[in-house]
Structure 1
Amino acid sequence: MLDRLSDKWVTLILAALGSGGGSHQPGADCSGEPRSMRYSQLLRLLVGVSQKMLTQTLRSLERDGLITRTATPTVPVTVAYELTDLGLSLHEMMRGLKTWAEEHMDDVLANRETHDTRVA
């Protein structure tokens, strides 16, 4: 499971479900309320994800117990995904990491510049 947490789509799916489906481009706010989302909503929201990759990633997250899948018998069947308590706890950790990165980005960039100047 740990190897999947670094996957781009895992991170973006957890962010989408954990913050109410706002924009999930780099730098976007992820402080909304968690909610359930339909497959089609996730597909539209996650620009660049293929149907195959989204399906595979959702299945692995469900298997790991981070999301639940609810199918409603309509025509066509409506499928919604939602974070479990375990998924919510991981989402909170990810928000903390995002906050840290935003607060320290200037320091990191300055350190890179110092290092690159010294090495060159």
Structure 2
Amino acid sequence: MAPVKPYRTSLDQGNAYWMARLADQIYQCQPGGRHPYEQGILANLKAEDPGFLSVHGVSKNSAQAALVEHESFLTLVFRGTDEGWDWLDNFNAFSEQALFGAFHRGFLRSALDL
């Protein structure tokens, strides 16, 4: 499979493939919990590309994410809407100014939780 091109800003097959793979993997949970299953995610990614180095998962309030380290790039992967509270955040769609622009308020609050 094509590699990630971290500085490419237009559509790229490798970027699209790996971002989709990472988005799929973030839904793996620790047994009996909501926390991302770091070891399982890393094992699956390394089976396809040995350049993956680590996965650091976070779960707080209704937000879950993982920082995925590859020898060539870092990616912060968020879970999407998968429970009732997430849908309530989605309805909180008003924008809010923060950092360098305007953000969906529900997304911003989840990001700040993490």
Shorter-chain TM-score above 0.5: no
When normalised by structure 2's length, the TM-score is: 0.30
More helix by share: 1
Larger gyration radius, structure 1 or structure 2: 1
More strand by share: 2
When normalised by structure 1's length, the TM-score is: 0.29
